[in-house]
Structure 1
């Protein structure tokens, strides 16, 4: 448990960690005071906005600052644009975490867990998360990966908060790890990122320090953590247009998707068939070579 940073301390941490930031006018005193507690704080929650945003500053200054018709702002403390810019939206209690699992809160407070957190309570039957967590809204839909610049900034922003409070990477969680109603931050519709991988990358960033360069994040070739650790065999993955064009009559590819299980099984089957075909071809070539040798010898003998 910790006393929340002041607005001035938050800005100092952003500067210390070299984050590019923009202050939305009024942010330092903009909060939900009088509508619940603020502090002690225990951690930092990552969110996605649920929409792709073209003008990061305008979105932060309007939707995130003012809120929605049924949810007054601020809707976060920080927001990250597609270019990695951090927007300061509000300070104090903010409407971002909502209700969540008390067991998750206990784990974050104690920093005694490993792996992905799986909450069993949500907004309607959980405990107040707005009192206990800082929150960042990363400006993307969640239906695809965030940009590389956003992921780098989110890791560095997390490290800045952890550094101030002396917390470990286990104080950083996804909204979908806090509330059973949520799945953000996502990488494909309805699927939360592999947060253990996120935490490993945050740990590396924190260990490298404000002026250091952390080891390359565990992206698996993408811009955000490997989806493999958060994917099941029944998940559907999108196939390329080329694949559908090659087999236009394949009804299994009609919707442009194929399950991981089918893809792996199909890949194995085709690879094995190809391997067996190559073996058979090698045998045929060897037999042909032997026949040519015999024929050559026979022709030579006849000529003699």
Structure 2
């Protein structure tokens, strides 16, 4: 008999992950850059990985635009509380939820909490992810490989499965992929592979749901200054020149990426599904 239980292994213990924004210097710029216009008024959103970086910028921008926001994160409680407070300072409501979304039961618990608190779910942003630099494919252990896929792509399946019955016509799902899916990244083989899977997931899920009035799109950021990079995503040498290879010659800030998520979450993008936006500093990619 088939079982619904997943073989979810314990997280790999790494003191530097997922990375604290409170300890990061210089601080990423996540504050919304323009006044809200009510584009998500009355909506309820889940944003994963919202304790810091891109996720925080998205959560606070959504709150400014009128959404109630569930801030989902792994274990950075101080950062997550700051995100909640920033959302509330925008005049909206927010709640924090800690847990490993690589476990399907955790995704279900998150959705149950949101429905119990607010009675609906309109926008799901799958942003949580992790990455580990390895210069040699032989250095990637089976545990790391499984963990990276579990966090980055399995969690999206689990959360969408949990949320599906609550997503009505007009709902939107926005997944975070990466420029590494399009150009590759020598030191991030497992991470880049998950991002390819996320892009395929986005396009295929769109095909499944678009006829039911639910839009599914993605955002593929380039090099963005977040805790993920110094804590686990880039070597010391790469950090010294982080983002300088882009045509703009610099890394992006989280608040330069968040508007792409807002656009895909609201009715401004009502004729878009199965698409990917590319806030990446001017790098031209296919697809």
Instruction: Give the alignment's TM-score, normalised by structure 2.
Output: 0.27
TM-score normalised over the length of structure 1: 0.26
Rg (Cα) greater in structure: 1
